[in-house]
Amino acid sequence: MATNAGKKFENDFKNSVDTDKIFLHRFKDGTTGTVNGQMIRFKNKNLCDFLLFKDGQLVLVELKSFLGKSMSFSNIKSTVDEQQTFLYNLRLEAKKNNVKVYMILNFRDLSETYAIDIHNFDEFYRMTSKKSISIDEARQLGKQLFQQKKRTSYKYEIDSLFN
């Protein structure tokens, strides 16, 4: 079975972490099942995709990979209420000592990836009338993660998330 691009990005990200130096935990996604002959997706209410810990600092990351020069906010969650709640919960965690939270946006077409601090991302989200964030806005709000292509996968510079 082929791996979708989002899962491939998550695997590349995970494989980029030096687990001898950084603690890494991947939260499990929801599962699918059949009830009365119908496919049903059981959603987990995870705070984020990954938890990283190094030198007393906790970093929470939510990864998003997509095609094009912008990411629709519907990639975060399907409804505005769900999006707002999700971002609010991440912002709450980021207010704690030694906790950083990032939205990591992977613009696959352009081979560019940006880590945007959750406070900056949420402020942009709340202030814009748009329903997406463009590559230019991600460049302004975030820091580019260095990435190196290795045949079919990428290796990302993860240490910069702790600076």
Condensed to tens digits (0 to 9), the pLDDT of residues 7-17 reads 999 999 999 99
The pLDDT of residue 40 is 61
Find out whether 87 and 122 touch, Cβ atoms under 8 Å: yes
Per-residue pLDDT tens digits for 109-146: 999 999 999 999 999 999 999 999 999 999 999 999 99
Q: How many residues does the chain have?
A: 163
* pLDDT score recorded for residue 151: 80
Burial 63-82 (b: 16+ CB within 10 A, else e): bbbbeeebbebebbeeeeee
Beta bridge partners of 143: 115
Query: DSSP string of 95-135?
Result: TSTTEEEEEEEEEGGGTEEEEEEHHHHHHHHHH-SSSEEEH
Q: What is the DSSP letter of 47?
A: S
| Whether residue 1 has pLDDT greater than 90 | no
Q: What is the pLDDT of residue 29?
A: 66
Q: Kindly indicate the confidence band of residue 152, based on its pLDDT and cuts at 50, 70 and 90.
A: confident
Which residues are CB-neighbours of 142 under 8 A, at least 6 positions away? Answer: 102, 103, 105, 114, 115, 116, 117, 120, 121
What are 25-81's pLDDT values in tens digits? 998 765 555 667 766 655 557 899 999 999 999 999 999 999 999 999 999 999 999
CB 27 within 8 A of CB 47: yes
Q: List phi, psi (to 5°) of 134.
A: -90, 165
Mean pLDDT of 77-96: 95
Integer Cα distance of 37 and 32 in angstroms: 12
| Section 145-158 average pLDDT | 88
pLDDT of residue 3: 72
